[in-house]
Amino acid sequence: MATEVLMPALSPTMEEGTLAKWLVKEGDTVSSGDILAEIETDKATMEFEAVDEGVIGKILVAEGTEGVKVNTAIAVLLEEGESADDIGAASAPAAKEADEAPKAEEKAPAQAKAPEAPKADRSPDWPEGTEMKTQTVREALRDAMAEEMRADANVFVMGEEVAEYQGAYKVTQGLLDEFGAKRVIDTPITEHGFAGIGVGAAFGGLRPIVEFMTFNFAMQAIDQIINSAAKTLYMSGGQMGAPMVFRGPNGAAARVGAQHSQDYGAWYAHIPGLKVVQPYSAADAKGLLKQAIRDPNPVIFLENEILYGKSFEVPVLDDFTIPFGKAKIWREGTDVTIVSWGIGMTYALEAAEKLAEEGIEAEVIDLRTLRPIDYDTVIASVMKTNRCVTVEEGFPVASIGNHLSAYIMQNAFDYLDAPVINCTGKDVPMPYAANLEKLALTTTAEVMEAVKQVTYR
Amino acid sequence: MATRKSAAKSNVSADELKSYYRDMLLIRRFEEKAGQLYGMGLIGGFCHLYIGQEAVVVGLEAAAEEGDKRVTSYRDHGHMLACGMDPDGVMAELTGREGGYSKGKGGSMHMFSKEKHFYGGHGIVGAQVPIGAGLAFADKYLDNKRVTFAYFGDGAANQGQVYETFNMAALWKLPVVFVIENNQYAMGTSQQRSTSSADIYTRGEAFGIPGQVVDGMDVLAVKEAGEKAVGHCRSGKGPYILEIKTYRYRGHSMSDPAKYRTREEVQKMREEKDAIERVRHMLLDGGHATEDDLKAIDKEIKDIVNKSADFAKESPEPSLDELYTDIYADVLPQGDAIETEEA
């Protein structure tokens, strides 16, 4: 059967083009790969090759013709034994298909309508009456890894100085002794490379814990974290993903300057396919890290150097985890909701104590995970207090606080008695000088001031 | 060219030779069809064809064993067909349909098959190299004697993460074959203009990784080199580098007019070096096949490719619900729990 040669699309955006030149004439025999014509697209002049073999029966569009629409028949190709008289029987059923406009479904975005207070999950993280012991965040993280490594032989930890040095911040202390060099692996200083090897190991069936000495250095590896780890499950139609944890200290330490002092919570929380954890207490650090290691998705686990040495009460249990997307209310109150996470909780809790002395009762919520976020707990609280202040260490533009403000506005607008205020780090690279560094970070005083603003005191 | 001998002294059987011919032809015809469907607007976005490079993957797959893994860049259709993935599923992914390997959500550059141990299909130049070493890391950890082929181009060979990976792969003796498919052009920049050293295979020397250069237009030479490399890796000696000199006949992607090289250069390669023609002549001259035998193979391939195109047109677009699926796994997507010895 004679086939039509159609005007090809030669770029992702081409809709029409110029048939600049024919390199064959009627009666020529062509085989696949032969160049038929030169076609000018919106970007370049391209050679157009034959796919099928046959004889050029008729040229339908003369060279020099401009504005030839994609999928217009430009020539007719005859098979062996056919003559030009057969032309007319040829058809191009596929052309129509390509012209069909994509069926856009009208779907209104989720609207806030007559909101009711959502049911927040207020179940206890561990049974009432559980024995508790005092532990630092550092020890809790180490125990979480050790417990999960005992439970699953495919869990291993890799990173700079995690093994023989016992961890740059001593978080992996003792793991080499217990689990050996096969499972506690010192890497060269090569974040991009070992993050990618970690992703490949996860594809290959292992459960890697990749430690970054600090998350500042993970910027070298962020392509592997986002393009390879976060997106593969989706890109593979659910066939495979990267069950792994990227962990390490995040945010400002003390007096280490701009390149070593940044909070990446908002960066990673932006990415579908990642889960993002930023714990404050030792118990949460332990329960959430164990959960992260078991989670079948890539998890960003943002620790904090200043919190490593802080002690908290941790439940004495053989095994406990804390689910993602469940905030913790540290302090109940009726006058204002303070939402924070990670080291921001230090300022939030301190401010709440001092405010109580002044007769303002703040409800303090620790989000614990930034993806997923426990919106229900936040909204339920704001509906009660009608005011909200967020506290974080990250930069102000496109911060988590900004996102929460928008969410609250859309879902609890009628309940707000004041605009939400975001307490954040200042919009500057971290300075080194002690006085300036202090000024660059958010402070308890700023949180108190914000609360007074939203409560009109 | 009819009398040219293969560089390899393989005692290859007629059946093997015929299967290489068939597998290479499948890739070429499939890619030509993909180019056609692109021209019809049925395939969108970027589409990087493998035409000209067929002997690389077919030769190396001949050296692979069941369970070995492979990972490559976005020029990936040939790798998928060569490792046994279904042409229907590959073509339907190109058209963005439900029947595609990624349900239409990955596209030409992002396809995977757990079943065939094909780990992508990566759109970021060089990113597949540490991933390949990571797959090999997992195999070594699990002590399962598998080997990973990490394919990348002469362009990717200039990425920093490649050398970070060479270092760790050598340090940890990972069973990975680094396959540099040197088609001489990093998109539009020739190797001479982008690469300070002519011999990319020697770049492993600094890390103690052996390497060799291979004629990528000779499937038997590729197979022989592949067997050597795989043997090296499987015996626990660590990584191996193959720089396979090949040539892509088409532009970098469908929208590349390829003005950085002459038409004569391309024609010369096609006429004098074509890997499929070479095997075709070996079959005919050696009396291993008749013209009719080869015509029958041509017909079989044409039918497979046409069927894949029909499937790719008829398969429906993914359901709109698919927008929000496969972002997070509820259970381990690998499904099959991997057993290891007690730690």
pLDDT in tens, B71-114: 999 999 999 999 999 999 999 999 999 999 999 999 999 999 99
Interaxial angle between packed helices B128-142 and A191-203, expressed in degrees from 0 to 180 and rounded to the nearest 10: 60
Question: Considering all CA atoms of chain A, what is the largest pairwise distance in Å, rounded to the nearest integer?
Answer: 99
The predicted pLDDT at position A411 comes to 97
pLDDT band at A104; cut points 50, 70, 90: very low
* Dihedral Cα A392, A396, A397, A398, nearest 10 deg: 10
Residues from chain A that touch B256, judged by Cβ atoms under 8 A, are 44
pLDDT (tens digit per residue) in A162-171? 999 999 999 9
User: C-alpha angle with apex A246: A244 to A248, nearest 5 degrees?
Assistant: 150
**What is the rounded average pLDDT of the residues A11-16?**
83
Kindly report which listed range (A4-13, A101-110, A123-132) carries the lowest average pLDDT score.
A101-110
Pairing mode, strands A328-331 and A362-366: antiparallel
Q: Which chain B residue's Cα is nearest to A12?
A: B45
Q: In order of start, what are the domains of chain B with their CATH numbers?
A: 14-310 (3.40.50.970)
- Give me the pLDDT at residue A100, please: 46
Q: Which residues pair with B101 in a beta bridge?
A: none
**Closest to A286 measured CA to CA, from A303, A274, A298, A300:** A303
pLDDT at B335 (0 to 100): 44
The shortest CB-CB distance from A190 to any of B38, B168, B328 is to B168
Whole-angstrom Cα distance, residue A97 to residue A92?
10
pLDDT at residue number A93: 43
- Residue B134 to residue A201, Cβ atoms within 8 A: yes
Query: What are the tens digits of pLDDT across the range A278-313?
Result: 999 999 999 999 999 999 999 999 999 999 999 999
* Inter-chain touch B327–A227, beta carbons under 8 Å: no
Q: Contact B138/A206, CB-based, under 8 Å? A: yes
Q: Which residue in chain A has the smallest CA separation from B255?
A: A11
Cite the active site residues of A. 191, 260
pLDDT of residue A115: 67
CB contact under 8 A, B136 and A179: no
Residue B313: which of A97, A99, A235 has the nearest Cβ? A97
Report pLDDT for B150.
98
Is the model's pLDDT at B185 over the cut of 60?
Answer: yes
Compare A49 and B105 and report the one with higher pLDDT.
B105
Report pLDDT digits (tens) over A171-203.
999 999 999 999 999 999 999 999 999 999 999
Q: Considering the entire predicted model, what is its pTM?
A: 0.90
Higher pLDDT, B263 or B26: B26
Q: Report the run of H or E that residue B227 belongs to, with start and end.
A: helix B219-234
Q: Is the pLDDT of residue B320 over 90?
A: yes
Tell me the mean pLDDT in the region B199-214: 97
Here the tokens at position A411 are 């879902």
DSSP states along B144-168 = ----EEEEEETTGGG-HHHHHHHHH
The whole-angstrom distance between B235's CA and the closest CA on chain A is 19
Contact A228 B341 (CB under 8 A): no
The CA-based angle B134-B140-B142, given to 5 degrees, is 105
E strands, A15-94, are: 16-22, 29-30, 35-40, 45-49, 54-59, 65-69, 73-78
Residues of B in contact with A195 (CB under 8 A): 130
pLDDT digits (tens, 9 = 90+) for B124-137: 999 999 999 999 99
What residues of chain B lie within 8 A of the CB of A47, using their CB? 257-258, 263
Q: What is the ipTM of this complex?
A: 0.93
pLDDT band at A421 (very low <50, low <70, confident <90, very high): very high
Q: Which tens digit of pLDDT belongs to each residue from B14-33?
A: 999 999 999 999 999 999 99
Find tokens 């913790």 and name the residue. A328
| Nearest CB to A236 within list B51, B106, B164 | B106
Q: In chain A, whose CA is at the least distance from the CA of B112?
A: A236
| Residue A375 to residue A383: CA distance in whole angstroms | 12
Say whether A381 sits in a helix, a strand or coil: helix
Q: Residue A52: what pLDDT?
A: 79
pLDDT > 80? residue A85? no
Distance CA A210, CA A376 (A): 32
CB A325 within 8 A of CB A373: yes
CB within 8 Å: A193 and B161: yes
How far is residue B16's CA from residue B311's CA, in Å, rounded to a whole number?
Answer: 29
Burial A261-277, CB ≥16 within 10 A → b, else e:
bbbbbbbbbebebbbbb
| pLDDT > 70 in chain A, percent | 93
Give the integer Cα–Cα distance in Å for B343 and B333: 23
Q: What is the pLDDT of residue A34?
A: 82
Q: Which of A154, A187, A234 to mutate to test the interface with B (most CBs of B within 10 A)?
A: A234
Residue A314 and residue A132: Cα distance in Å, rounded? 5
Contacts of B320 in chain A (CB under 8 A): 105
**A86 confidence band (pLDDT: 50, 70, 90):** low
pLDDT of A90:
46
Compare CB distances from A238 to B257, B325, B342 and report the shortest one's residue: B325
- Contact (CB<8Å) A223/B124: yes
| Helices assigned H by DSSP within A79-163 | 93-99, 137-151
Q: Report in angstroms the alpha-carbon separations of B264 from A125, B132, B192.
A: 72, 36, 19
Q: Which of A232, A270, A371 to mutate to test the interface with B (most CBs of B within 10 A)?
A: A232
Q: Of all residues in chain B, what percent carry a pLDDT higher than 90?
A: 88
Q: Is A240 exposed, middle or buried (0-12, 13-18, 19+ CB in 10 A)?
A: buried
Q: Which of A147, A235, A276, A297 to mutate to test the interface with B (most CBs of B within 10 A)?
A: A235
| Interface residue of B49, B50, B112 to substitute, partner A, most A CBs within 10 Å | B112
- The Cα of B224 is separated from the nearest Cα of chain A by a number of Å equal to 27
Full set of structural domains in chain A with CATH:
3-82 (2.40.50.100), 132-315 (3.40.50.970), 328-454 (3.40.50.920)
> Which of A20-34, A282-296, A434-448, B42-56 comes out lowest in average pLDDT?
A20-34
Residues A437-453 have pLDDT tens digits of: 999 999 999 999 999 99
Mind giving me the DSSP string for A296-353?
Answer: SSEEEEEE-HHHHT-EEEEE--SS----TT--EEEE--SSEEEEE-TTHHHHHHHHHH
Pairing of strands B176-182, B185-186: unpaired
Q: Is it the case that residue B2 has pLDDT exceeding 60?
A: no
Q: What is the structure's pLDDT at B333?
A: 56
